[in-house]
Amino acid sequence: MNKENYPITKLLNHIAKNIHHFHRNHLKNYDMGWGQFRIILMLFHKEGINQEELSNILGIDKTTLARTLKKMEISNLIEKKNNPNDKRAHLIHLTDKSRNLQSYLNELKSEIDIKLLDGFTEEEITLVFSLLSRLEENSKLLLEEK
């Protein structure tokens, strides 16, 4: 088998593009983009974390995250509160506006998975998840190359 004959990156890019387009269409009325959606979903699980931890968890560089958080603050999606343990740092918290979106955003996240897995058997879903997990692990090797 010649691995070069399988356009894996092309397929993954098309899937990611379609998911991104889906998000854009469903989030535009909430003054939110894909990156902001990811941040809010994480804050639903770990509210009150600092920017550095959020950057590490989501794999977003610090400058991009700072810019996105500033937009989210202006849109009243998050608020920064002083960290009582470190006067130089802030903790990121959800606002009532973003908390009120929790149900919708979780439904949106589920809808994507349901649509992507439409027509798959349980066995196929397990196999797809296993194979994509292996691809993700292998993709980390790309970061190690210089």
Of 54, 95, 57, nearest to 74 by C-alpha is: 95
Architecture of domain 3-144: Orthogonal Bundle (1.10)
**Residues 117-146: tens digit of each pLDDT:** 999 999 999 999 999 999 999 988 888 866
Domain locations in the chain? 3-144
Q: Is the per-residue pLDDT at 1 higher than 70?
A: no
Q: How far apart are CA 117 and CA 114, in angstroms?
A: 5
**Residues 39-82: tens digit of each pLDDT:** 999 999 999 999 999 999 998 999 999 999 999 999 999 999 98
> Exposed, middle or buried, 65 (CB in 10 Å: 0-12/13-18/19+)?
buried
- Which band of pLDDT confidence, cut at 50, 70 and 90, is reported for residue 104? very high
Tell me if the pTM is above 0.85: no
Calculate the dihedral angle through the C-alpha atoms of 75, 13, 16, 76, rounding to the nearest 10 degrees: -10
